[in-house]
Homo-oligomer: A and B are copies of this chain.
């Protein structure tokens, strides 16, 4: 199943944080769409979204509304994706789904174009977009895996609230304002205060005490890197930052890989920018790199606590490369594949 050179494109969940970003990315990258239509599930007042000097009417998301679309980017909940992604495929279209729903399904490719584009050709109409934190971590891990082999990965995340959505951004704003004026922060979107606080909980807990976000990062990383037995340990933490995720990644490689070699290796990777001269104050942070397309890597240094240990500090905009940009890049590859 391939895409024609100028496909008819849909965005499902277009009024959310990721959906709005998808529309922005399509425009910024001059995506060769014949038409673009936008859908939302919530019944509300009539809404229009600006796109290439036009106002697109937001249509209700229904199965029939998906008629005639060649590719639909889904920025919806797992529940909505479960319902509507198959409707796209049934109509002969391709769905790129950002929810967790199909990511771990064996027949569904889970794609980060710079990392495993080769897996795209096996798709059967559904392509899954990985979890935001997973995307940036596998971008940094893949070159290391190829060069030196991965023995074990231990990661701790610093994830922004935009990963939760627009309501979470508002909650951080409102709570922060309240706390700064001596008031109380009343949690609504999050289970506890997020203003000036870190929550070691992203998504729900399982009976072993892991969060679903942690299990996503482990399972998806293994699938994308095609290393089903890779030992990975993750703690995911929500931090009071609006946009972009950071991850402290501790990597144990099979073979020797010094910081200089890792730096050179990562510097040559498409989609990665290494900025790493800490004594000059040069390392990436979330606020400095938000709204950029790259995954930024800094603080590349040796960890002497194991034979071949290395630390990385990996930062990326969770709405861009972590979600919308990656989905659009997948769509671009589908057109390229057809052109070949």
Q: What 0/1 pattern do residues 290 to 307 of A give for CB contact below 8 A with B?
A: 000000001111111110
Q: Contact: A233 with B305, CB < 8 Å?
A: yes
Q: What 0/1 pattern do residues 176 to 199 of A give for CB contact below 8 A with B?
A: 110010000100000111011111
| Stretch of A16-24, A90-98, A105-113, A276-284 contacting B (4+ beta carbons < 8 Å) | A276-284
Q: Contact: A285 with B192, CB < 8 Å?
A: yes
Which residues 99-127 in A have Cβ within 8 Å of B in the complex?
none
Which residues 228-266 in A have Cβ within 8 Å of B in the complex?
231-233, 235, 237, 239-242, 246, 248, 250, 259
Copies of this chain assembled into the complex: 2
Task: Tell me the bound Cα distance from A209 to B282 in angstroms.
Answer: 11
Q: Contact: A210 with B301, CB < 8 Å?
A: yes
Instruction: Indicate whether A27 reaches chain B with its CB closer than 8 angstroms.
Output: no
A257 CB to closest chain B CB (Å) equals 15
Q: Contact: A239 with B205, CB < 8 Å?
A: no
**Known contacts A154-B154, A299-B209; is-contact A198 B281 (Cβ 8 Å):** no
Q: Contact: B235 with A248, CB < 8 Å?
A: yes
Which residues 304-339 in A have Cβ within 8 Å of B in the complex?
304-306, 309, 311, 313
Q: What 0/1 pattern do residues 113 to 148 of A give for CB contact below 8 A with B?
A: 000000000000000000000000000000000000
Instruction: Indicate whether A200 reaches chain B with its CB closer than 8 angstroms.
Output: yes
Q: Contact: A152 with B306, CB < 8 Å?
A: yes
Residues of A contacting B: mostly? mixed
A213 CB to closest chain B CB (Å) equals 13
A234 CB to closest chain B CB (Å) equals 9
Task: Tell me the bound Cα distance from A88 to B11 in angstroms.
Answer: 71
Instruction: Indicate whether A225 reaches chain B with its CB closer than 8 angstroms.
Output: no
Residues of B within 8 A of A173 (CB): 180
Q: What 0/1 pattern do residues 186 to 226 of A give for CB contact below 8 A with B?
A: 00000111011111110011011111000000000000000
Interface centre among A156, A204, A298, A304 (most CB of B within 10 A): A156
The residue on B at minimum CB distance from A280 is B205
Residues of B within 8 A of A235 (CB): 156, 248, 250, 299, 311, 313
Q: What 0/1 pattern do residues 267 to 291 of A give for CB contact below 8 A with B?
A: 0000000001011010101111000
Task: Tell me the bound Cα distance from A197 to B305 in angstroms.
Answer: 29
A260 CB to closest chain B CB (Å) equals 11
A168 CB to closest chain B CB (Å) equals 13
Q: Contact: B231 with A306, CB < 8 Å?
A: yes
Instruction: Indicate whether A158 reaches chain B with its CB closer than 8 angstroms.
Output: yes
Identify the A interface with B (CB < 8 A). 152-154, 156, 158, 172-173, 176-177, 180, 185, 191-193, 195-201, 204-205, 207-211, 231-233, 235, 237, 239-242, 246, 248, 250, 259, 276, 278-279, 281, 283, 285-288, 298-306, 309, 311, 313
